Structure 1
Amino acid sequence: MVSTLPAQEPAQAIRGNLLGSPVLVVAHRADWRNAPENSLQAIKNCIDMGVDMVEIDLKRTKDGHLILMHDKTIDRTTTGKGKPEDYTLNELRKFNLRNGAGHKTSHVIPTFEEVMQLCKGKIMVNVDKGYEYFKQAYEIMVNTGTVNQCVMKASLPYEQVKAENGDLLAKVIFMPVINIDNDGSDMIIDGYLNNMRPAAFELCFKNDGPEVQQLIRKVRDSGSKAFINTMWPELCGGHDDDRAVERNQPEESWGWVIGQGAKLIQTDRPAQLIEYLRKKGLHN
Structure 2
Amino acid sequence: MVRNNIAAARKQPSESSLKEILSSFWDPNGRVMMAVHRGNWKQAPENSLAAIQYSVVAGADMIEIDVQQTTDGVLILMHDETVDRMTNGTGSINEMTFRQLRELRLRQYQGGINQPLTNYSIPTLEEILILIKNKVMINLDKCWDYREQVYEVLLRTGTVSQALFKSTASAAEVQLFLADKIEQPLYMQIIDDSNPEMVQDIDYICAAVQPQAFEICFEDEADERISIEVLDRIKSNHCRIWTNTMWDSICGGHSDIISRVDVSEGWEWHIRRGVNMIQTDDPEGLFAYLNE
Structure 2 length normalisation: TM-score? 0.87
Match of 2:167 in 1: 154
Q: Distance in 1 between matches of 2:181 and 2:245?
A: 29
Match of 2:20 in 1: 13
SS of 2:291 mapped into structure 1: helix
Match of 1:38 in 2: 47
Q: Distance in 2 between matches of 1:30 and 1:169?
A: 29
In the TM superposition, residue 53 of structure 1 has moved relative to its aligned partner by 0.6
Q: Distance in 2 between matches of 1:208 and 1:124?
A: 29
In the TM superposition, residue 208 of structure 1 has moved relative to its aligned partner by 1.4
In the TM superposition, residue 180 of structure 1 has moved relative to its aligned partner by 7.1
Match of 2:124 in 1: 111
Structure 1 length normalisation: TM-score? 0.90
Answer yes or no: is the 8 Å Cα contact 1:181–1:207 preserved in 2.
no
Match of 2:64 in 1: 55
Q: Distance in 2 between matches of 1:99 and 1:13?
A: 32
- Aligned sequence identity (%): 36
Match of 1:71 among 80, 92, 106: 80
SS of 1:216 mapped into structure 2: helix
Match of 2:254 in 1: 239
Match of 1:23 among 11, 32, 35: 32
Match of 2:262 in 1: 249
Counterpart AA for 2:142: K
Report the aligned-residue RMSD. Answer: 1.8
Q: Distance in 1 between matches of 2:79 and 2:223?
A: 33
Q: Distance in 2 between matches of 1:46 and 1:111?
A: 17
Instruction: Find out whether 1:221 has 2:230 as its counterpart.
Output: no
Answer yes or no: is the 8 Å Cα contact 1:11–1:121 preserved in 2.
yes
Instruction: Find out whether 1:167 has 2:180 as its counterpart.
Output: yes
Q: Distance in 2 between matches of 1:47 and 1:255?
A: 23
Gaps of 5+ in 2: 1-15
Counterpart AA for 1:44: Q
SS of 1:251 mapped into structure 2: helix
Match of 1:96 in 2: 105
Match of 1:124 among 127, 131, 137: 137
Answer yes or no: is the 8 Å Cα contact 1:58–1:67 preserved in 2.
yes
Counterpart AA for 1:10: S
Answer yes or no: is the 8 Å Cα contact 2:217–2:243 preserved in 1.
yes
Match of 2:91 in 1: 82
Aligned residue-pair number = 269
Q: Distance in 1 between matches of 2:85 and 2:265?
A: 33
SS of 1:276 mapped into structure 2: helix
Answer yes or no: is the 8 Å Cα contact 2:175–2:209 preserved in 1.
no
The worse-fitting range, judged by mean Cα deviation, of 165-174 and 255-264 is: 165-174
Answer yes or no: is the 8 Å Cα contact 1:181–1:206 preserved in 2.
no
SS of 1:97 mapped into structure 2: coil
Q: Distance in 2 between matches of 1:136 and 1:146?
A: 14
Q: Distance in 2 between matches of 1:190 and 1:223?
A: 11
Q: Distance in 1 between matches of 2:166 and 2:223?
A: 26
Answer yes or no: is the 8 Å Cα contact 1:178–1:189 preserved in 2.
no
Q: Distance in 1 between matches of 2:193 and 2:232?
A: 12
Instruction: Find out whether 1:184 has 2:197 as its counterpart.
Output: yes
